[in-house]
A and B are shown apart, each in its own frame.
Chain A
Amino acid sequence: MNAPLIATRGLYKRFGAVVAVDNVTVEIAPGETVGIIGANGAGKTTFVNIVTGYLKPDEGAILFGGVDITPMSPREVTRLGIRRSFQMAQLFPNLSVRDNVLVALACAEQARPTPTTILRTPARLTQANRILARLDIEDFADRLTPELPQGQRKLLDIALAMVGRSAVLLLDEPTSGISADEKLQLMDLVMRAVAAEGAAVLFVEHDMEVVERYAPRVIAFYEGRVIADGAPAVVLVDADVRRYVVGAQLHRRVEGVRT
C-alpha cells in the first residue's frame, strides 16, 4: 500500500452510554474508492462527521498526508480538500439551483468571499451552467431547490461537494432515497467526475449491489467497530458481515414489508 492519504488512529467516540465509534483505525490511499457498510446506528455517519471535523473524537487522531487534522473545523478540513456530501441533501432553499452552485464556486475560491466583486460573472455562470448540464438539471437552474425532485436534490448536494479541488470525497449515502434504476446512473456520474480529478472516495452505502459494483474495497461497521476491511468478494461473504450488516438489512427489509 502507498503512503496513506488519510488515516485514522484509534478513533473513539461515545454519546452517553452508546459507543458510536470504537477504536477505528483505517488508512485510505490516494485515489482509492472505499465503500462503507453497516446497519443503521453502526457509526458510519459519526465516522464521517469525525473525519470532517464536525465532531471531535474522545480519543484518537485523524492524519491527512501525515499531518494531524483532528482539531480542525469543518471549514479548515474542507479547504484541505476533504469534502463531503450529506445523507439528507444540504442545500440553500432560499436560493435558485444555479445560485447554489455559484455559492459553492465562490466558497471554493475564497475562505473569505469578497464584498466588492460581482459573483455572477460570465465565467462563473458558464461554469455553473456546465455543472448543471452535466447533472442534467439545467432546466431547473432558475427554480428554488425545494422544487427539485428528490433524486436531483441529492445530485445537487453531491455536486456542491465536488465544486473545487478535492483530495478525498466523503459521500454519506449518496443513493438513499433514489429509485433503483437511478442509483447506478448517479454513481456512474459521480465516479466518472471523481476519476477525472483523481480524488479518493469514501461512500457510505446500504445497497450491496452498488457497493459491489463501485468499491474495490469495503469497510464494514458494526456497533462502532470495523469488523471487516477488504475486497467486496471477501467482505460481503464474511460470516460476521452477513450476520450483522447484510443480514440485518434483509431482516429490516422483511420488517418493512410487514409494516
Chain B
Amino acid sequence: MRTLAALGALLAALLVAGPLIPSWLVFLLTVAFAKALVVLGLLVMMRAGLVSFGQGLYYGLGAYAAGLATNFLGITDALALVALGGLVSAIAGYVLGLVMVRYREIFFAMLSLALSMILYGILVRSVALGSTDGFNLPQPSFFGFSVNGPAGRLLVYALTVVMATGTAMMLHRFINSPAGVVGEAILTNEIRVEYLGTSVTSVLHLTYVIGATTAGLGGALIAIAAGHIDPDLAYWTTSGEFVFVAILSGIGHVAAPLLGMAVFEAIRSFAFQYSPYTWQMVVGISMLAVILFLPSGLWSLFAQRRRARGAA
C-alpha cells in the first residue's frame, strides 16, 4: 500500500512539474521513463533468474511497430501506437518465450542476445524498413487532436510518466503475487517448485511475456518521443544498457528502475556534454562505484534507511 501511495505521489509530482521544468529536462525524463519501462520488465525477469541480454529485441519491435503503423497505416494516435507496440512485443514474446524458457543463465542470456541481433540484422538490411537510417515519425495525435510544439511534447511526457508509474504499480502487485514469489523461488530451487506441484515453465513464460510487453511499450514510447527509429534500438549495446541500469538500480523494488534510469540518463547527458569523448568512461566509473559501494544497487540507499528506521 505504501509503495502504491508513493508511486501515486511521484506521478502527481511529475505531472505537476512537467510544465514548470525546462524542456531539455522534460525530454530527458521522457526518454528515461520510456526506457525505465524496459528495465521494469527486466527487473521482474531477473528476480526469477532470467537475465536477458536481448531486451532490445522487444524494445526495437515495439518502436518499429509504432513507426511502421504511423508511416504505412497512417495511425498517429499516441495511445494506439503505444498499445500496438506493447501488443506486437507481447505476441512475439509469447511465441519466442515458449523456446526461451527452456534455457537458463548464460545460455538464456546469449540466446536472447542472438535473437535481438537477428532483428537488428533484418532491420539493417531491409530498405523497406529504412535500413540503417531508420525513419522519422510525425508528431503524434491525442484522441484525434494533433498537438504540436512544446504542448505536444508535454503530452508525450505525461503519457510516458503515467505508463511508467502505472506499470511500476502493476508490477509491484505482480512481484507480491503467488506467481511473482514463486518466480523468486524458481531462482534458487526449480526442482522443489515442481515437487510442490507447480509448473516452473508456466511461471517463467508468464514472466518472460511481461518483460517483452513492457519493453515493447517502452520502445513505442521512445519512438514517439524521439520522433525517430533506427536499428540501433535492437542493437546489443542497447540491450546491455538495460541490464546495466537494472544492476545499477537494484531489483529489490519497482521504484528502483525509475530512479536508476533517470540517474543514468542524467549522468550520460552531462558526461556527454562536458566530455564528449570520454562519457563512456564516466558512466563506467559510476557503475564501478555502485558495484563497490552499493552491491544491491542504488535502491539499497533507501532500503537501508528504512531498515535502520525499523530497528530504531
Binding site for B on A (CB under 8 A): 52, 54, 73-75, 78-79, 83-84, 86, 90-95, 99-100, 102-104, 106-120, 160-161, 163-164
Contact = CB atoms under 8 A, between A and B. Distances in A.
A120 B191 CA distance: 23
B189 interface: yes
Interface string B176-214: 111111101101110111111111001100100010000
B268 interface: no
Contacts of A109: 178
10 contacts: A74-B195, A79-B197, A94-B188, A107-B196, A107-B197, A111-B197, A112-B203, A113-B178, A115-B174, A163-B196
A90 B195 contact: yes
A116 B176 CA distance: 9
Contacts of A119: 176-178, 180-181
Contacts of B228: none
B176 A112 contact: no
A75 B197 contact: yes
A125 to B, nearest CB: 12
B182 A103 contact: yes
A74 B197 CA distance: 8
Tell me what chain B mostly uses at the interface: helix, strand, loop, or mixed: helix
Given A112-B199, A115-B177, A95 B184 contact: yes
Of B176, B177, B203, the most chain A CB neighbours within 10 A belong to B177
Nearest to A113: B178
Interface residues of B, number: 27
Contact of A113 (B187, B198, B210): B198
Tell me what chain A mostly uses at the interface: helix, strand, loop, or mixed: loop
A186 B202 CA distance: 35
Given A95-B181, A117-B177, A84 B195 contact: yes
Of B177, B178, B180, B182, the most chain A CB neighbours within 10 A belong to B178
Given A75-B197, A115-B177, 13 more contacts: A74-B194, A78-B194, A84-B195, A86-B192, A92-B185, A95-B188, A107-B193, A111-B197, A116-B173, A116-B174, A116-B177, A118-B173, A119-B176
Contacts of B198: 75, 106-107, 110-113
Of B177, B187, B196, B210, the most chain A CB neighbours within 10 A belong to B196
Contacts of B196: 78, 103-104, 107-108, 160, 163-164
Contact of B192 (A91, A106, A117, A118): A91
Contact of B179 (A104, A114, A160): A114
Smallest CB-CB A-B distances: 8 pairs: A113-B178, A107-B196, A106-B178, A107-B198, A78-B197, A115-B179, A90-B192, A113-B179
A92 B195 contact: no
Interface of B: 173-174, 176-182, 184-185, 187-189, 191-199, 202-203, 206, 210
Contacts of B180: 115, 119
A86 B191 CA distance: 11
A60 to B, nearest CB: 22
B203 to A, nearest CB: 6
B182 to A, nearest CB: 5
Contact of B199 (A75, A83, A106): A75
Contacts of A116: 173-174, 177
A114 B177 contact: yes
Given A94-B188, A112-B199, A116-B177, A75 B182 contact: no
A17 B203 CA distance: 38
Given A78-B194, A92-B189, A111 B174 contact: no
B173 to A, nearest CB: 7
Nearest to B189: A92
Given A94-B184, A95-B181, A52 B206 contact: no
A75 B203 CA distance: 13
Given A95-B184, A113-B182, A113-B203, A90 B197 contact: no
Given A92-B185, A103-B182, A118 B195 contact: no
A91 B177 CA distance: 19
A11 to B, nearest CB: 20
A106 B210 CA distance: 20
A54 B195 CA distance: 9
A164 B197 contact: yes
B210 to A, nearest CB: 8
B176 A120 contact: yes
Contacts of B189: 90-93
Contact of A103 (B174, B181, B199): B181
